[in-house]
A = this chain, B = another copy of it.
Amino acid sequence: MAKLEISDCQERLARFAKAMSHPTRIAILHFLAQRNECFFGDIHEVLPIAKATVSQHLSELKEAGLIQGTIEPPKVKYCINPENWAIARQLFSGMFDEYRPEKKDSCCGG
């Protein structure tokens, strides 16, 4: 029993998923993905939540590696982290491609 070991890829996928597990953070990613870059204020301006909360969400996205931020005094510029974005894309599509229903009739009697 207990033979299944969780791989690094699976841990990493879960980590990315966790970063994406909140609607506000999805909205932030969407916003950044479209603009390629922008300042904290631009993001905060558009969200109906306190700046402290925005900052926290940005922190989590940054720690997960999906975005990056650089200080441009007195502002902070945020953008997608291209390398990790590509890795996340691959991990997710790899996961979803693992399921290939060979038969047209569904499983589980559904």
Which residues of A does B touch, CB under 8 Å? 1-4, 6, 10-11, 13-14, 17-18, 20-27, 29-34, 36-37, 45-48, 68-70, 77-82, 85, 88-89, 92-93, 95-96, 98-99, 101-102, 106-110
**A26:B13 contact, CB within 8 angstroms:** yes
Give the CA-CA distance A29 to B106 in the complex, in Å.
Answer: 17
Contact (Cβ within 8 A) A27 B10: yes
Contact indicator A21/B30 (Cβ below 8 Å): no
Given contacts A37-B108, A82-B101, A93-B93, contact A17 B6 (CB under 8 A): no
A109 to B85, CA, bound (A): 17
| A2 B46 Cβ-Cβ under 8 A | yes
